[in-house]
Amino acid sequence: MQKYGLIGYPLGHSFSRNFFNQKFEAESIDAQYINFEIPTIKDLKRVLKENHELHGLNVTIPYKEQVIPYLDDLDDDARQIGAVNVIKFEKGRFGKTKLVGYNSDVIGFRESIEPLLNKAHAYALILGTGGASKAVFHGLKQLGIESAFVSRTKKENSFTYEELTPEVMEKYTVIVNTTPLGMFPNVNECPHIPYDLLTPAHLLYDLLYNPDETLFMKKGKEQGATVKNGLEMLLLQAFAAWDIWQK
Q: Please give the positions annotated as active site.
A: 64
H helix or E strand, kind and range, residue 210: none
Q: How far apart are the first and last CA of the chain?
A: 18
Residues 6+ apart with CB under 8 A from 37: 8, 9, 10, 11
Q: How many CB atoms within 10 Å of residue 119?
A: 5
Residues 6+ apart with CB under 8 A from 76: none
In sequence order, what are the beta bridge partners of 51?
none
Are 139 and 108 a contacting pair, CB within 8 Å?
A: no
